[in-house]
Amino acid sequence: MNIITETDRLIIREFDEDDVLSLYKIESDHRIIKYIPWNRLSTMKECKRQINKYISGYQRDMLNSWAVVVKETNEVIGITQLIYSSKIRGVEIGTKIHPDYWSKGYASELTRAVVNYGLYELGIDEITAVTDVNNAGAIKSLINMGMSLKKYGYYNGAESAFFSVKRNN
pLDDT tens for 110-133 read 999 999 999 999 999 999 999 889
**Cα 20 from Cα 46, distance rounded (Å):** 9
Domain with 57, as residue range(s), is 3-166
Give tens-digit pLDDT for 3-12. Answer: 999 999 999 9
Neighbours of 34 (CB within 10 A): 12
- 44-58 and 20-27 helices, crossing angle to 10°: 120
Statement: residue 31 has pLDDT above 90: no
Give tens-digit pLDDT for 58-115. Answer: 988 889 999 999 999 999 999 999 999 888 899 999 888 999 998 898 988 999 999 9
**Cα 15 from Cα 39, distance rounded (Å):** 18
For residue 1, give Cα distances in angstroms to 16, 33, 137: 7, 28, 30
Strand-pair category, 90-97 with 126-132: parallel
Domain count, the chain: 1
- Read off the amino acid at residue 114: V
Model pLDDT, residue 37:
52
Statement: residue 34 has pLDDT above 80: no
Contact by Cβ (8 Å): 69, 77: yes
pTM: 0.88
CATH number, residue 40: 3.40.630.30
